[in-house]
A and B are shown apart, each in its own frame.
Chain A
Amino acid sequence: MNRPSAPVDSSPPSTWEELVTAALLGTDRRTPPGCAPGREAPVALLDAAAVETVRRRAGLRPARAAQRPQPAPEDPRPALPPAAAHRLAMLLADRPGAAGGGRRGTSPDLMELLPQWLATANQRGFAPPPQSLPALLDAARGRTDLRPAVLTFAGPRAVWLARLNPDWRFALRAAPGGGAALPHLKDSARIQQLWQEGLFAERVALLSAVRTREPAAARELLTTTWATERAEDRLMFLDSLRTGLGPRDESFLEQALADRSRNVRATAAELLSALPGSALAARMAVRAGACVALDRTRETPAISVEAPHECDTGMERDGVVAKAPAGRGERSWWFGQLVEAAPLSTWPGRLGGRTPQEIVALPVADDWQGELHAAWCRAAVRQRDGEWARALLGSPSAPEAGGPGAVSLAERAKLLGTLGSAERAEWVAGFIATHGLSEAFQLLGVCAVPWGAPLGRAVVDALNIARDAGSYPWSFSGVMGLAERCLDPAEASRLDGLQAVPDESEDASPGAGGYWAEAFQRLVTTLRLRAAMTEELGTQAP
């Protein structure tokens, strides 16, 4: 038992101890102090123990204070408006797993709104109510994707709290933006020390923090210890050069092409090929150019492809993987890698001064079109070339855009990523208007939130069409979920008509109308909730 303090000294502590000993052994074996042995001894023992128990309890005094924790650092941000604080408590109370899964009904999925709530609160720069920190940290503990936003919002007191509870150690490891735990970037001595002596995770965090602000300094830091790092670590460190990659990194990367580790070599080659001006890119341009030619002998000009016959050591040094995966021909495998790594700017010159659009439109001889276009897609994504991406995406309403054409949906989604958000949304809206929703999920995922008006309208119209077609709404649950989170709340009023249960048509699935009404109700409720959330956080924006 946890006793606040020792009993008072008015009775010698031994009396109580003797009573306990006598009780433990039994009065038949041990006569308690101050009692006569015999039949009455147990009662006398209980009498004495009762007096002692109450005396000990009545005499309890406070214990000595232990070392008090250092006060948590001040959070200078303004407190949340009360309505927003209550909303946060409600979002956090909605832990998954409390009630069974199954049909979702008309009520919004509150936990899914937490990321958006956090983003808005962070944007407005509010401090959390301190008593909500444990629930916030618990939520972030279970969901790594929430951690950066939660830790930014939770602020310095969460880091203070995490030092006291090992369940929340992750908050100490991942101080947001490389902030508090890392030395100041001007403090080069401490940076050097941490780089030399730190744990792997600390070093990765340090390197990426330095890289974000001063790319060259990070590269120099890495050069100092490069030769002595382990292969896995070299790979991780090299990967952090992706941020702020520029021509000045070339010589370091060229050197890494001769690395002992194959993975390091491949990554270095990949990074170099993303630098169109690099020597590697030029070598690749020559190799790829040798394989692709314009065949003018035909009636309409076409592209002819002559894939490489061997993968020489030079190619291997530049990151070309010699061994093809099972089921792929070696030559087409090598060819794909060469085109992917060659700068896209070489092609107009090679192919008669045509624009990317015209090049993509050229026929390709001997079934090489799939291989060639796929490689160009990868190149456009790697080199973030919007013009080529646009050309490869084509028109969203083209019939082949919806089918398993030359460019897969996953590749399209990546290509869209190279475009501006408005252009992206417009393309996806056009796609949905022509091809419906069944293929749109991946593409919607790359669009900026909240969706712009044309995109939102296209999605709602498509959902409406899907409903009229008589299928069940859960065939579209992925898009519905996205719409709940991404549709502009201002669109809610346009959905009013969809919440009613429609008359059931003959060919509709039984009961589908009711389920659709329910799904639209949930959509509208969620949108209203999001509008309320934003408003609660906005009214007192600092």
Chain B
Amino acid sequence: MTQQGVRWTADQVLALAPDSASRKAGSKLGAAGPWSEAGSSDEGTVWGLCKGSGSKPYQTVIDIADAAGPAYKCSCPSRKFPCKHALGLLLLWAGEEGAVSPGQPPDWAEQWIKGRRQRAEDKRAAGASGSSSGSGDPEAARRRAERRAVRVTAGATELEQRLADLLRGGLAGAEQAGYGPWEETAARMVDAQAPGLAARVRELGAIPASGPGWPVRLLEECALVHLLDQGWLRRERLPDALADTVRSRIGLPSSADGPPVRDRWLVLAQYDTADTKLTTRRIWLHGADSGRTALLLSYGAAGRAPELALPVGLTLEAEVSAYPGAGQLRATLGEQFAPPTPTAIRPPGVTTAEASARYGEALREDPWLDSVPVTLDRVVPAPDGDSWQLADADADTALPLTPAARGRPGLWRLVALSGGAPVKVFGECGHRGFTPLTAWPEGAGEAVQLY
């Protein structure tokens, strides 16, 4: 593989930045000035020395070929990950031809890379020798799972009681009661070891303050919590796949035990959502050969970026294993066979009518789904009163954008990219509307991130 072939774009590099300050600091270091002895090897390693404020330059190494996305090492004291030096070095490598010369890594870089490769090798060997080795006594594990199931059942029963009381007294009372009682119930669900229920209850608490139409939304969400409770309480009578879905919605741990699927995976989108405790990163993948869509989830502490990062618009030759459950797209990234490479592959698209139908069908397998990933082909962003919609270029139908998507700067990138002409848009289509995440112009052109 030539260096030219694997080089990324600046946007793809900047997408790795944990926050906007790092992005800015990294962009500044993306020029030849402070760097010396920068180089890259065919195995996907980039290294360089960056002149900092001290007398000794920082040593920065990046392993782009790692299975879990790029890995970084820098001798600077920053706790940001990747640090500005790693970003700057990647930008230098991505930007100027000849700024990073091909060659053999120096000793300090070589050592780190060797250590990483060795550890990865050991882990794979350990994984192959028996998956049960890490989890201890299977009998003890079964007893733990049983004890937890008893607690969840108690929690679900209590929540049913709480919902019945609410409906008996009327939702109108919920507006006056405020957020307090919900927070308390959510804490009870955390005690019951049902984090999925706790999260849903917390959202219920926020609905009465969410503006006009809240009673409809509150009833909908109460009914879906009720449905989940009932699903858990009667899980023995459900088909296996649906029972798995209920377990994962309740928040019980599961592991990606689906068979590994090797494919050229196109990175469709990567975006983070944050609450007070946790940053959640979602990465959507599209299998160029299998046609499958997969979701990789990773987490970081609040305010810090999760480690896994895959630049949008690249493909990676890798294995992906699915989590259990009907209609579940969540998967985990297995072995990666080559560094991510730029690609001209685009996912095939559908019309807005087909996208709506796809969401409806997905609800059959997982009634708690808020949205499904779809690619819309030939749609035109059009203003619709205060809002925006994506209108089919060849039909009289359209999908409105979600209220959240209307406020994001990505909307204007989408409108500018379209210029009134049809574009291809990947996003999430659900009952709240469509959330655009990535777009491609009709002619040649790179994927444009919209989140």
B233 contacts A by Cβ under 8 Å: no
Give Cα A62–Cα B168 distance, bound, in whole angstroms.
36
A residues 74-113 near B (Cβ < 8 Å) are 82-83, 86-87, 89-90, 93-95, 98-99, 105-108, 110
Residues of B contacting A157 with CB < 8 Å? 416, 419
The reply to whether A131 and B397 form a contact with Cβ atoms under 8 Å apart is no
The reply to whether A58 and B364 form a contact with Cβ atoms under 8 Å apart is yes
The reply to whether B398 and A525 form a contact with Cβ atoms under 8 Å apart is no
The reply to whether A65 and B223 form a contact with Cβ atoms under 8 Å apart is no
Given contacts A24-B172, A58-B359, A71-B421, 6 further A-B contacts (CB under 8 A): A2-B433, A26-B173, A43-B226, A87-B95, A90-B30, A107-B31
The reply to whether A46 and B163 form a contact with Cβ atoms under 8 Å apart is yes
**Given contacts A24-B172, A28-B169, A61-B356, is CB(A53)–CB(B224) below 8 Å?**
yes
Interface string of A40-57 (1 = CB under 8 A from B): 011101110110111001
Q: How many A residues touch B, CB cutoff 8 Å?
A: 74
Residue from B14, B167, B399, B421 within 8 A of A4 (CB atoms): B399
**Given contacts A59-B360, A65-B382, is CB(A49)–CB(B173) below 8 Å?**
no
Give Cα A98–Cα B389 distance, bound, in whole angstroms.
32
Closest to A129 in B: B445
Interface string of A62-74 (1 = CB under 8 A from B): 1111111111100
**Given contacts A66-B389, A134-B416, is CB(A94)–CB(B24) below 8 Å?**
yes
| Stretch of B190-198, B214-222, B274-282 contacting A (4+ beta carbons < 8 Å) | B214-222
A267 contacts B by Cβ under 8 Å: no
Give Cα A20–Cα B164 distance, bound, in whole angstroms.
15
Residues of B contacting A27 with CB < 8 Å? 167-168
The reply to whether B167 and A46 form a contact with Cβ atoms under 8 Å apart is yes
* 15 residue pairs bridging A and B, Cβ less than 8 Å apart: A2-B401, A4-B431, A20-B216, A23-B219, A28-B168, A53-B219, A53-B224, A54-B367, A60-B431, A66-B391, A90-B27, A107-B25, A130-B419, A161-B412, A161-B415
The reply to whether B34 and A130 form a contact with Cβ atoms under 8 Å apart is no
A residues 449-466 near B (Cβ < 8 Å) are none
Interface string of A347-371 (1 = CB under 8 A from B): 0000000000000000000000000
Residues of A contacting B170 with CB < 8 Å? 23-26, 28-29
B366 to chain A, nearest CB (A): 10
The reply to whether B420 and A46 form a contact with Cβ atoms under 8 Å apart is no
Q: Which residues of B contact A (CB under 8 A)?
A: 9-11, 14, 20-21, 23-25, 27-34, 51, 53, 91, 94-96, 160, 163-173, 213, 215-220, 222-224, 226-227, 352-353, 355-356, 359-361, 363-364, 367, 380, 382-385, 387, 389, 391-392, 395-403, 409, 412-413, 415-417, 419-421, 431-433, 441, 448
Residues of A contacting B11 with CB < 8 Å? 86, 89
A282 contacts B by Cβ under 8 Å: no
The reply to whether B173 and A53 form a contact with Cβ atoms under 8 Å apart is no
Residues of A contacting B96 with CB < 8 Å? 83, 532
A479 contacts B by Cβ under 8 Å: no
Residues of A contacting B395 with CB < 8 Å? 65
A475 to chain B, nearest CB (A): 20
A383 contacts B by Cβ under 8 Å: no
B411 to chain A, nearest CB (A): 9
A133 contacts B by Cβ under 8 Å: yes
The reply to whether A62 and B356 form a contact with Cβ atoms under 8 Å apart is yes
The reply to whether A93 and B14 form a contact with Cβ atoms under 8 Å apart is yes
A19 contacts B by Cβ under 8 Å: yes
A529 contacts B by Cβ under 8 Å: yes
The reply to whether B215 and A131 form a contact with Cβ atoms under 8 Å apart is no
Residue from B168, B218, B364, B431 within 8 A of A42 (CB atoms): B168
B88 to chain A, nearest CB (A): 9
The reply to whether B51 and A106 form a contact with Cβ atoms under 8 Å apart is yes
A residues 94-148 near B (Cβ < 8 Å) are 94-95, 98-99, 105-108, 110, 130-134
Give Cα A2–Cα B385 distance, bound, in whole angstroms.
12
Closest to A32 in B: B167
Residues of B contacting A160 with CB < 8 Å? 419-420
The reply to whether B420 and A68 form a contact with Cβ atoms under 8 Å apart is yes
Give Cα A456–Cα B365 distance, bound, in whole angstroms.
72
Give Cα A42–Cα B161 distance, bound, in whole angstroms.
10
Residue from B14, B34, B217, B359 within 8 A of A107 (CB atoms): B34
Interface centre among B51, B53, B219, by most A CB within 10 Å?
A: B219
A384 contacts B by Cβ under 8 Å: no
Give Cα A58–Cα B366 distance, bound, in whole angstroms.
11
The reply to whether B356 and A4 form a contact with Cβ atoms under 8 Å apart is yes
**Given contacts A20-B219, A58-B363, A93-B24, is CB(A134)–CB(B413) below 8 Å?**
yes
Give Cα A296–Cα B282 distance, bound, in whole angstroms.
92
A168 to chain B, nearest CB (A): 9
A122 to chain B, nearest CB (A): 19
The reply to whether A93 and B23 form a contact with Cβ atoms under 8 Å apart is yes
Give Cα A161–Cα B409 distance, bound, in whole angstroms.
13
Residues of A contacting B432 with CB < 8 Å? 1-2
Residues of A contacting B397 with CB < 8 Å? 61-65
Give Cα A1–Cα B210 distance, bound, in whole angstroms.
9
Residues of B contacting A132 with CB < 8 Å? 416
**Given contacts A57-B431, A67-B382, A68-B420, is CB(A134)–CB(B226) below 8 Å?**
no
The reply to whether B398 and A42 form a contact with Cβ atoms under 8 Å apart is no
Closest to B218 in A: A23
Closest to A79 in B: B445
A528 contacts B by Cβ under 8 Å: yes
Residues of A contacting B415 with CB < 8 Å? 161, 164
The reply to whether A134 and B219 form a contact with Cβ atoms under 8 Å apart is no
Give Cα A94–Cα B402 distance, bound, in whole angstroms.
29
Residues of A contacting B361 with CB < 8 Å? 58
**Given contacts A29-B170, A108-B31, is CB(A63)–CB(B399) below 8 Å?**
yes
The reply to whether A134 and B409 form a contact with Cβ atoms under 8 Å apart is yes
A514 to chain B, nearest CB (A): 8
The reply to whether A521 and B51 form a contact with Cβ atoms under 8 Å apart is yes
Residue from B94, B168, B226, B359 within 8 A of A86 (CB atoms): B94
Give Cα A25–Cα B174 distance, bound, in whole angstroms.
11
Closest 4 CB pairs of A and B: A525-B33, A26-B170, A107-B28, A72-B419
Give Cα A157–Cα B418 distance, bound, in whole angstroms.
10
The reply to whether B163 and A131 form a contact with Cβ atoms under 8 Å apart is no
A269 contacts B by Cβ under 8 Å: no
Give Cα A493–Cα B121 distance, bound, in whole angstroms.
47
The reply to whether B360 and A60 form a contact with Cβ atoms under 8 Å apart is yes
B397 to chain A, nearest CB (A): 4
Give Cα A107–Cα B24 distance, bound, in whole angstroms.
11
Residues of B contacting A64 with CB < 8 Å? 396-398
**Given contacts A53-B224, A58-B364, is CB(A94)–CB(B28) below 8 Å?**
yes
Residues of A contacting B392 with CB < 8 Å? 62, 65
Residues of B contacting A14 with CB < 8 Å? none
Residues of B contacting A62 with CB < 8 Å? 352-353, 355-356, 392, 397-399
Give Cα A67–Cα B420 distance, bound, in whole angstroms.
11
A297 contacts B by Cβ under 8 Å: no
B431 to chain A, nearest CB (A): 5
A206 contacts B by Cβ under 8 Å: no
Closest to B175 in A: A24
Interface centre among A3, A107, A160, A518, by most B CB within 10 Å?
A: A107
Closest to B211 in A: A1
A residues 1-30 near B (Cβ < 8 Å) are 1-4, 19-20, 23-29
Residues of A contacting B29 with CB < 8 Å? 107
